[in-house]
Structure 1
Amino acid sequence: MTTRSCPCGLPEAYEACCGRYHSGAAAAPTAERLMRSRYCAFVRRDAAYLLRTWHPRTRPERLDLDPGMRWTGLEILDTTGGSAFHTTGTVTFRASYRGGSLHERSRFERVDGPWVYVDGDFPG
């Protein structure tokens, strides 16, 4: 077991943080935690988790992750809704990778309890 902090940017070890969501031992309790766990899944190239946490209405048939992509950090810029008391939420973030960054406002909804990613747009 490693003691390095989770790639999502929180100080917990991966196993205690996003690892428990990736393994299915727990569901992300908020839209932000789901977004962080999805970023971590991109870092770890866990396409199965990404597809499992994608809304059935917008989920692609498959996901091909670039093995050369090196994600280097996540910054949460804003959140609206997305708590245990909401059914929808948005998370605006900047995900850095070697050579650039991705700025997205992601939309999340609850489907039969758990949070799922719906879609996102790229704020100007």
Structure 2
Amino acid sequence: MIRGVRGATTVNENDELEIVEATEILLRKMIEENSIEAEMVASVFISVTEDITAVFPAKAMRFIDGWKYVPVMCMREIPVTDSLDKCIRVMMHVNTNSPQQNIQHIYLGDAVKLRPDLNTVDQS
């Protein structure tokens, strides 16, 4: 069965290094907390708010061993009034037998505000 594993993080600046680093930290945490291997992943969607334009955050996946062939796509988040700024969101489509309630969704930085009810994982 395919399950969605969600994650989000924020950056302080529209800076390539900061965006890639924050995205890599988020992806690694999602992978670790859900025991995900690249072969389990059907695809990954990454969205960014309008204020992130310095780099495609999917570049971060290139730094994770074994994830070279995982399909990943970046897109822009809809511009909702008063929404969280400089936010990177990830939706990873994973083949797993884990029940929905056992999936660990990861929210880091200011993104913890998005779903405090789902953020049960230590941010460190």
Please classify the TM superposition score into its range, dividing by the shorter chain length: under 0.3
Q: Which has the higher strand share?
A: 1
Q: TM-score, normalised by structure 2?
A: 0.27
